[in-house]
Amino acid sequence: MKAPEPASSTADFKAPVGLILVLGGLSAFGPFSIDMYLPGLSQMTRDLHAGAADGALSVAAFYIGVSLGQLFYGPLSDRIGRRPPLLAGVALYVAASIGCAFAPSVGLLIGLRLLQALGGCAGLVISRAVVRDRFSPQQTAHVFSMLMLVMSLAPIVAPLLGGFVLLVGNWRMIFWVLAVFGSLVWLSVLLWMQESRSAETEAKARGESAWKSYLAVLREPRVMGYCFAAGFAQAGLLTYIAAAPSLVIDSYGVSPQGFSYIFACNGVGLVTATYTNRRLLRTKSYDYLLRRANMASLLASAVLVVDAITGFGGLWGFVVPLFFVVACMGFTQANAFAGAMALDPHRAGSTSAMVGCLQFGLGAVAGSIAGALHDGTARPIAIVILISYVLSGLALRLLAKVRD
């Protein structure tokens, strides 16, 4: 089947709703697999006689699997098409989720979480490549913003659903819910998603190895600037996701259900920002919005650090500035993706994989650092988040050359 040509940019652009829903489901594997699991993390460690470090490792294992797996799926989808690796990856995700539900030990659970990530990351990387296949650069920013809007529902729905599951069952049931979700997404891809890879992309992919494709991406400073900007920004977000449950539940004394509500409120901020970004893209470039989102993130992160060091506001001094840090991601991610993938559309899979690898790879590193420095206060989390956004801003200015 011949892939559709990317649509031209128009002021009244409207993306197909069905395609957005399928791509949104694929993109939601990451947030659903992490956010729904967090409320049951403490219960899981007690049930499996594990420590807090083991629980954090089960989260970090997912980050690592998503980071490394995208490097495999990206060039593979450029070479053989989007559908085959997508269907195989989602099937692996479903199987690993079922395995997690039966895991008798924390060590086996961590290994299965790694496999779950290696399967689910196919949806993350290939969904972005499909967007670039079908749409022009400015339209790509619109579509990524719409995907972020769909994905932004995950931080609202997932922790609430995870908290509800814990009221009627235990942490193992969460993985059964994830297996059902993965099965529905697999069917939607099989029945409704057409192949989108272009003949030009296929020819380029078959003419160079995966390593050469990645080297070509690495040699383009502007592409890597956008990749690092997205990666360091995501590192700040994933630091919060990995370290906040222990801090909020154990140190601030909030219940798992209460933590779910806090997490969901941050998701509301993300949804609002994502919707606003989509509206602003009608009159502003993605570079303009990206730079200002980074500046807002830096300001909110600085306030978070001050509150964490001084103890000002207690729990509220932590969650209020964090709300704005998370909300800014609604502007950052969609526009950084659009910038990175606009520069080399025929390596869309490899570029998408590079962005995703840096996002979750840097997130795993940042989260591990915050965990290693954990002292029962918000200071380590706040400092790591601030450093992440400083580095994201430097990547925008020095590599991507995004100016005010």
Q: What's the CATH number where 115 sits?
A: 1.20.1250.20
Region 160-175: mean pLDDT is 88
CB neighbour list of residue 245: distance below 8 Å, 6 or more residues apart: 38, 39, 41, 42, 259
Residue 5, domain member (yes or no): no
Rounded to the nearest 10 degrees, the angle between the axes of helix 137-152 and helix 154-168 is 20
The answer, yes or no, to whether residue 49 has pLDDT greater than 80, is yes
Residue 403, domain member (yes or no): no
The conformation of residue 48, written as its DSSP 8-state character, comes to: T
Rounded Cα distance between 338 and 224, Å, is: 13
Residue 327, domain member (yes or no): yes
What single string gives the DSSP state of each residue in 69-89? Answer: HHHHHHHHHHHH-SHHHHHHH
Domain, as residue range, for 179: 17-190+209-398
Which range among 40-44, 118-122, 259-263 has the greatest average pLDDT? 118-122
For residue 127, how far is the Cα from the chain centroid?
A: 12
Share of the chain above pLDDT 90, in %: 27
User: Is residue 35 exposed (0-12), middle (13-18) or buried (19+ Cβ within 10 Å)?
Assistant: buried
Largest CA distance in the chain: 61
pLDDT of residue 209: 73
Rounded to the nearest integer, the mean pLDDT of the chain is: 84
Measured in degrees and rounded to the nearest 5, phi and psi for residue 135 equal -130, 160
Residue 320, domain member (yes or no): yes
Residue 79, domain member (yes or no): yes
Rounded Cα distance between 157 and 154, Å, is: 5
Residue 394, domain member (yes or no): yes
User: Is residue 277 exposed (0-12), middle (13-18) or buried (19+ Cβ within 10 Å)?
Assistant: buried
Query: Is the model more confident about 88 or about 7?
Result: 88
pLDDT of residue 110: 93
User: What are the Cα distances from residue 271, in Å, to 9, 52, 285?
Assistant: 24, 31, 20
Region 95-99: mean pLDDT is 96
What is the number of other CB atoms lying within 10 angstroms of the CB of residue 14?
Answer: 8
The answer, yes or no, to whether residue 6 has pLDDT greater than 70, is no
Give pTM, 2 decimals: 0.72
The pair of three-digit structure tokens given for residue 279, joined into one six-digit string: 């509206």
CB neighbour list of residue 286: distance below 8 Å, 6 or more residues apart: 138, 141, 334, 335, 338, 339
Region 180-197: mean pLDDT is 90
Residue 9, domain member (yes or no): no
Residue 335, domain member (yes or no): yes
pLDDT of residue 384: 92
Number of domains in the chain: 1
pLDDT of residue 39: 79
pLDDT tens per residue, range 287-298: 899 999 999 999
Which range among 19-28, 161-170, 173-182 has the greatest average pLDDT? 173-182
Region 323-338: mean pLDDT is 87
Q: How confident is the model at residue 10 (pLDDT cuts 50, 70, 90)?
A: very low
Rounded Cα distance between 155 and 35, Å, is: 6
Residue burial 97-132, b: 16+ Cβ < 10 Å; e: rest? bbbbbebeebeebbbbbbbbbbbbbbbbbbbbbbbb
Query: Is the model more confident about 344 or about 279?
Result: 279
Q: How confident is the model at residue 3 (pLDDT cuts 50, 70, 90)?
A: very low
The pair of three-digit structure tokens given for residue 78, joined into one six-digit string: 């450029």
Q: Which of 400, 304, 289, 386 is nearest to 334 (CA)?
A: 289
pLDDT of residue 15: 66
